[in-house]
Amino acid sequence: MSLRCAILDDYQQVALPLADWTFNGASVEVFSLAAHYDDESALAAQLADCAIIVVMRERTPITDHRLANGTFAGAASGGDFRDA
């Protein structure tokens, strides 16, 4: 089974070519979202099946509300949030 990883707010589209996204051989589909989503439901739809979410900038804050209402549901279920 492949995991999905979303990179938020990559408006310059630099995240994919500038980093190693191999995850030590794990099967992970990595994609970036250049658009910023103010609408909670639109953001939730984009992240619905993502197990990993990378936040590039402070434009899309991970708030208690977004965690509670399911916007980050895929990543929040048993996830380990770390501040890099």
pLDDT digits (tens, 9 = 90+) for 33-84: 998 888 888 888 888 888 888 887 777 777 777 767 666 665 544 444 444 4
Q: Is residue 82 part of a domain?
A: no
Q: Is residue 47 part of a domain?
A: yes
pLDDT digits (tens, 9 = 90+) for 23-33: 777 888 999 99
Q: Is residue 81 part of a domain?
A: no
Q: Is residue 65 part of a domain?
A: yes
CB-based burial label for 8 (10 Å; 0-12, 13-18, 19+): buried
CATH number of the domain enclosing 46 = 3.40.50.720
Helix, strand, coil % over all residues of the chain, rounded to 5: 30, 20, 55
What residues contact 4, with CB distance under 8 A and at least 6 apart?
Answer: 28, 29, 31, 49, 50, 51, 52, 74
pLDDT at 73: 60
Q: Is residue 11 part of a domain?
A: yes
Q: Is the pTM of this model over 0.75?
A: no
> Which residue segment(s) compose the domain that 13 sits in?
3-76
How many domains in the chain? 1
Q: Is residue 84 part of a domain?
A: no
